[in-house]
Amino acid sequence: MTDTTAPLWPAPTAPGPVDATVVLPGSKSLTNRALVLAALADGPSLVRHPLLARDTRLMIDALRALGAGIEPVDDGVRVTPAPVRGGVAIDTGLAGTVMRFVPPLAALADGDVRFDGDPQARLRPMGTVLDALRTLGVSIDDGGRGVLPFTVAGAGAVPGGEVTIDASASSQFVSGLLLSAPRYDKGVTVRHDGKPVPSQPHIDMTVAMLRERGVEVDDAAANTWRVEPGAVRAVDTVVEPDLSNAAPFLAAAVLTGGTVRVPRWPAATTQPGAELRDLLARMGADVSLDDGVLTVRGTGTVLGLDADLHDVGELTPVLAALAAAATTPSHLRGIAHLRGHETDRLAALAAEINGLGGDVTETADGLDIRPAPLRAGVFHSYADHRLAQAGAVLGLVVPGVQVEDIATTSKTLADFPGMWAALLGRSGGDPDA
C-alpha cells in the first residue's frame, strides 16, 4: 500500500565517486533466529552485535510478552528463557520473521496468543504455517482467512510429528516450524511438496543455528527436514553484519565508479548477501575480500544482469535499481515469491522505475529491465525498506529523485538516511572511519 501522505526525501546525488567504509549492524535474519532459539533454550544466552531495528525490536517485544527476559548488555542482549506465557497479544509489524517464527513458539504457551500486524502484514501469506501447526496438534482461530490477525490457543505443549506443506511462497514457513520443533513432544518432520522453495540459504541458516545449539536436524533428503525433540543449548553468539543491507552501499560504489569497504565480512556464511560478491562482479565491479574486508570498486561500467535470484530474493530491489542504470538489459528471474514480500515487489519495482522513465516489464517470475534515460520523480516505497533503498540508489545518479517514506528503512536499519549521508561525506559521520 502506498502511503501518499508520507514525507518525500530528496535523495542526494553523488557529488563524485564515493569512497567509504561502511560498518553494518547485525543481520536481521541471524538476530531474530538467535533471539527465538535463546527464548527456547535451556539457560541464559548472549546475543552480541544484534541488529536493533524495527524487525528485531518487534521480535524482542514478542518474546518478552511471551515470558522471556531480555536485557541489554554492553554489546548486545542477554536472553533468559521462561515458560511460555499465554494471555498476550503480539504485534508482528511487517516482519516476516516475527509473523512466521513466533506462532510456532506461541503454540507452547499456557493460553491464547493473539497476533496482528501492520495493514500490509494482513496481506502476507500465513495459511501454510497455520495449517501446518494444526496438523501438528495446535488449535488456531484465524476466522478461516489464512492471514493475520489470528489467535494461537496455546495448550502448554505441542504433540508435533509429521507435516507436508507447500513452501514455495516462502522459506520462512519451513524455518518457523523448524525453530520451535525441538520443544515439541515428538519433534517435527517437515516435507515440502510444490514448486521449489525459495531462499535456500535462509533454510540452511536455520538448520545450522539449530545444530550449533545441539539440536539434531536431518536435512539429507531433498525437501525434507527432521528435527528431533530435545534441549536447545544456550550459547554466547556474535551476529554477523547484515550482508543484504550492504547492497545499497556497495551499489553506490558500482554506480559512481567509487569504492566501498565493508569490514567483518564473513569468509563463510549462510547469509544470501554473500552472493553480492559474484552478482556485482557480473555487473562490472571489481570485488575483493581481504582480511575480512569486502571491497567493491566501480569501474565506470555498469552491466545488466541475467540471473536467477530465487535463492537471494531479498537482494532484488537494489539489484533492479542498479540494472535500471546499466548499459545492457537485465533479466531477473526465479522471484515470483517476491509478490508476497513487504509489498508485491515485482509490481512496485516496475511501477517506480518506470515512473522515473525506466523501461521495466514484469514477467511471470521476475523483471526484464532495459536501459533507458532516467529522470526526476517520486519513488514510492510501499512501506518496503528495500524499495526505499532502491530509490536512494537511483537518486545517486538521477537528479531530482524524491523517495517517499524513507523512514520505512528503519525496518532493518536504525538510521539509513544518516548512513547514506555519511557514505556521501555529507554529515558528521566519517565515511573513512
Ligand X SMILES: C=C(OP(=O)(O)O)C(=O)O
Binding-site members for 3-phosphoshikimate are: 28-29, 33, 170-172, 199, 314, 341
Q: Which among 78-86, 89-97, 147-155, 359-367 is the span making contact with ligand X, rule CB under 6 A?
A: 89-97
Q: Which among 1-9, 19-27, 34-42, 90-98 is the span making contact with ligand X, rule CB under 6 A?
A: 90-98
Nearer Cβ to ligand X (202/261) = 202
Read out DSSP for 158-186? ---EEEEE--TT-THHHHHHHHHGGGSTT
Q: Is 57 left (phi over 0), alpha (psi -120 to 50) or beta?
A: alpha
Q: Which among 6-14, 150-158, 171-179, 366-374 is the span making contact with ligand S3P, rule CB under 6 A?
A: 171-179
Give the C-alpha separation, 215 to 178, whole Å. 10
Nearer Cβ to ligand X (109/126) = 126
Nearer Cβ to ligand S3P (182/395) = 182
By CB under 6 A, tell whether 96 contacts ligand S3P. Answer: yes
Give the C-alpha separation, 211 to 30, whole Å. 14
By CB under 6 A, tell whether 29 contacts ligand S3P. Answer: yes
Candidate residues 172, 189, 295, 408; the one interacting with ligand S3P per rule CB under 6 A: 172
By CB under 6 A, tell whether 342 contacts ligand S3P. Answer: no
Number of C-beta neighbours around residue 405 at 10 A: 24
By CB under 6 A, tell whether 386 contacts ligand X. Answer: yes
For the CB of residue 257, give the shortest distance to ligand S3P in the complex, in Å: 30
Pick the closest to residue 11 from 316, 389, 321, 414 (CA basis).
389
Give the C-alpha separation, 99 to 125, whole Å. 10
Told to judge if 275 belongs to the known catalytic residues of this protein, a careful annotator would answer: no
Sign of CA dihedral 308, 316, 55, 45: positive
- Residue number of the CB closest to ligand X reads 96
Give the C-alpha separation, 236 to 47, whole Å. 6
| Interface of this chain with ligand X, residues 328 to 347, rule: CB under 6 A | 341-342
Alpha helices in 373-423 (DSSP H): 385-395, 416-423
By CB under 6 A, tell whether 366 contacts ligand X. Answer: no
Number of C-beta neighbours around residue 16 at 10 A: 10
By CB under 6 A, tell whether 97 contacts ligand X. Answer: yes
Give the C-alpha separation, 127 to 147, whole Å. 6
Give the C-alpha separation, 215 to 213, whole Å. 6
Nearer Cβ to ligand S3P (26/313) = 313
For the CB of residue 215, give the shortest distance to ligand S3P in the complex, in Å: 17
For the CB of residue 33, give the shortest distance to ligand S3P in the complex, in Å: 7
Is the preceding omega at residue 399 within 30 degrees of 0, hence cis? no
- To 10 degrees, what angle do helices 172-180 and 200-212 make? 10
Candidate residues 175, 256, 259, 343; the one interacting with ligand S3P per rule CB under 6 A: 175
Candidate residues 21, 31, 92, 97; the one interacting with ligand S3P per rule CB under 6 A: 97
Read off the DSSP letter of residue 266.
-
> Letter for the amino acid at 348?
A
**Which among 240, 314, 352, 404 is annotated as catalytic?**
314
**Which residues bind to ligand S3P, rule: CB under 6 A?**
29, 96-97, 170-172, 175, 198-199, 202, 313-314, 337
- Residues annotated as catalytic are 314
**Which residues bind to ligand X, rule: CB under 6 A?**
95-97, 314, 341-342, 386, 412
